[in-house]
Amino acid sequence: DAGVIQSPRHEVTEMGQEVTLRCKPISGHNSLFWYRQTMMRGLELLIYFNNNVPIDDSGMPEDRFSAKMPNASFSTLKIQPSEPRDSAVYFCASSFGGTGANVLTFGAGSRLTVL
Partner 1 sequence: QKEVEQNSGPLSVPEGAIASLNCTYSDRGSQSFFWYRQYSGKSPELIMFIYSNGDKEEGRFTAQLNKASQYVSLLIRDSQPSDSATYLCAASSNNAGNMLTFGGGTRLMVKP
Q: How far is the CB of 16 from partner 1 (least distance, A)?
A: 28
Q: How far is the CB of 50 from partner 1 (least distance, A)?
A: 9
- The reply on whether position 107 binds partner 1 by CB under 8 A is yes
E-assigned strand segments in 1-115: 5-7, 10-13, 19-24, 31-38, 42-50, 53-56, 65-71, 74-79, 88-95, 105-106, 110-114
- The reply on whether position 5 binds partner 1 by CB under 8 A is no
Residues at the contact surface with partner 1, assessed by CB under 8 A: 33, 42-43, 45, 48, 55-56, 91, 98-109
